[in-house]
């Protein structure tokens, strides 16, 4: 595959502290602060509105306020409470050395995504960066991927998606492309198998080998 689409959170970087702290900050407004940040890991990956509704039974008005509070924290602090996984930069450079075209496809808003990539000096690896919109008009992974494919004129038959949650699998399959699930992120083998992920890898080394198979 010549065109490789990467999720960001849980795939290239570990956003645990920033995302979970921002969610907890938003929950404090409603008096629902979590006792342990680990309890909020489930917010990593899906669109925020879906998670607030699913896990805290918020209505639309509450969700709008929660997202506003989340962004108050995340936009100033949480963006940078993040870590690049060991081996990611070596993998990205190796893929470029083999003439692969690399793209970001994330449910995180584009504005935040660009700031994170620039802060961690990852932006130069990617030919294109695609994310959600702040107004929610594009938030599902399938729509982000579709926007990327259309904008870059990518043939879906020469494309692979890499992610760590079932949303990445659903988004890839909705666009008729295969998906690699990475187990070092926030998903699980059970989750990947349930959503019929095409390939599952344990670590960055396995991912790199799979992406370069046949080279």
Q: How many Å apart are CA 142 and CA 37, to the nearest integer?
A: 28
Q: Which residues pair with 201 in a beta bridge?
A: 182
Torsion of CA 162, 190, 38, 111, to 10 degrees: 20
DSSP H/E element including 74:
helix 60-74
Helix, coil or strand: residue 185:
coil
Structure tokens at 105: 């496809």
Contact of 125 with 150, CB cutoff 8 Å: no
- Candidates 7, 14, 143, 164; catalytic one: 7
The C-alpha atoms of residue 187 and residue 45 are separated, in whole angstroms, by 9
- Is 7 part of the annotated catalytic residue set? yes
What distance in Å separates the CA atoms of residue 180 and residue 158, rounded to the nearest whole number?
14
User: Locate tokens 């690399």: which residue?
Assistant: 102
Residue 72, H or E segment: helix 60-74
Q: Which of 105, 112, 125, 113 is nearest to 168 (CA)?
A: 105
Residues marked active site are found at 7
């Amino acid at each position: 595959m010549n065109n490789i689409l990467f999720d960001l959170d849980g795939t290239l970087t570990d956003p645990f502290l920033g995302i979970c702290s921002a969610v907890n900050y938003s929950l404090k407004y409603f008096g629902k602060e979590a006792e342990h940040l680990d309890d909020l890991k489930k917010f990593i990956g899906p669109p925020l509105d879906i998670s607030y509704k699913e896990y805290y039974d918020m209505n639309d008005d509450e969700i709008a306020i929660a997202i506003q509070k989340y962004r108050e924290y995340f936009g100033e602090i949480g963006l940078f409470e993040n870590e690049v996984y060991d081996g990611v930069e070596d993998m990205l450079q190796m893929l470029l050395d083999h003439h692969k075209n690399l793209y970001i496809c994330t449910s995180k808003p584009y504005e935040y995504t660009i700031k994170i990539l620039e802060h961690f000096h990852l932006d130069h690896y990617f030919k294109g960066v695609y994310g959600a919109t702040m107004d929610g008009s594009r938030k599902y992974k399938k729509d982000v991927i579709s926007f990327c494919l259309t904008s870059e004129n990518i043939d879906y038959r020469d494309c692979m998606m890499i992610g760590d949650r079932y949303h990445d699998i659903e988004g890839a399959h909705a666009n008729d492309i295969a998906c690699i699930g990475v187990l070092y992120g926030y998903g699980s083998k059970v989750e990947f198998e349930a959503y019929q992920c095409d390939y599952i890898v344990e670590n960055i080394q396995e991912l790199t080998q799979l992406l370069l198979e046949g080279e």
